[in-house]
Amino acid sequence: MIELFSIQNIVGLSVFLAITLGAWGILSAIADRPASTEERLKRVLNPAAARRFDAGATERQQDKLQERVKEAASKLGKSFRPNSEAELGKIRLTLLNAGFRSEQAVAVYYGLKGFFMLLCLALAVPLVASRYGMTQVGITYIVLAAAIGYYAPGFVVGSIKKKRAESIFLGLPDALDLMVVCVEAGLGLDTAMRRVTGELASSCPALCEEFAIANFQVQMGRARRDVLRDLGIRTGIEDVRSLAAVIIQAEKFGSSIGAALRVQSDAMRLKRRQLAEERAAKTAVKIMIPLILFIFPGVFVVLVGPAGIQIAKTMMGN
């Protein structure tokens, strides 16, 4: 009886029940409802329509699941949101730079932070309590697990923001070259941006998405100056801010927009080439780590091993 209710068995049973209930809840949420007799008959008579129906039902089910997750995360995030407007403004700007523009993005973000913190606590408390107990070391591990769960979404958002900024930075010179061609061919700036959005949608989707938002705002009647400034703030890239300032200045003083875009494109292309050269120069230093840790020991054993064996035999013979 004592062995049956030991702490190891209780912890194992608790983890098993938590995983089982979680999997059952996820499967219940995403499972399709059973098809009726009429629906099964339609699928047999018209397989193509049935496949389209299944694809549409799957998309609707996924959208419904995403809405439920977003709603639950928003409710949970209300208790973790800071009261400072300055802090909320920084988080909104960070999420905006990462590509999350929803009105509930901040609430969902803090909801995910709270969810992962509680999840890490639920996993860490039984394991730590069974091994260390509620000692100072155990409490330290529990606090560390909670901190990892709380700050993990921030690191993920930061990584997404960095990758998105790099994608926009690398695709901006090509977009500016295409805009120069369109403007010098007689198109307006708004038409040139729409042309860039259509041509580079597959190679640089993040930049084309930002240009599409800027075009939509201009069509809705906003001043182009405000739209370009918002474009620089929304992307969070200094080169886009400088591009917006150059276009605003060219329109203000009546100078050629095509010449301004050409100068900006040449400067950004030079900066991109310098970045590539910098990364190439760092490669020789970075490759030393795997060389020393993995390659050099094997080469050392192959070259020095036979000599070491011969020296050991000679010394043992003497």
Tokens 């276009």 found at: 247
Segments of the chain with pLDDT less than 70: 1-19, 21-83, 318
Q: Where are the domains of the chain?
A: 7-30+37-161, 164-284
Sign, CA torsion 37/41/44/50: negative
Fold of the 164-284 domain: Receptor-associated Protein (1.20.81)
- Contact 244/232 with Cβ under 8 angstroms? yes
Half-sphere exposure (Cβ direction) of 55: Cα atoms closer than 13 Å: 6
Percent of the chain with pLDDT over 70: 74
User: How many angstroms separate the CA atoms of 124 and 129, rounded?
Assistant: 8
Distance CA 250, CA 102 (A): 33
Residue 35 pLDDT: 47
Of residues 168, 271, 148, 162, the one with CA closest to residue 214 = 168
Residues 6 or more apart whose CB falls under 8 angstroms from that of 48 comprise none
Q: Which of 11, 2, 4, 1 is nearest to 131 (CA)?
A: 11
Q: Which two tokens stand for residue 253?
A: 């003083």
Give the mean pLDDT of the chain: 78
CA neighbor of 227 nearest in space, from 254, 268, 190? 190
Whether residue 247 contacts residue 189, with contact meaning beta carbons closer than 8 Å, is answered with yes
Give the tokens for residue 211: 């240009």
Segment 33-67, tens digit of pLDDT: 444 555 555 555 565 554 554 555 566 665 665 56
Hey, what are 132's tokens?
Answer: 């260390």
pTM over 0.75: no
Report in angstroms the alpha-carbon separations of 197 from 114, 192, 252. 38, 9, 25
A 10 A CB-CB count for 313 gives 10
Burial of 119 (0-12, 13-18, 19+ CB in 10 A): middle
> Are 178 and 199 contacting, i.e. CB atoms less than 8 angstroms apart?
yes
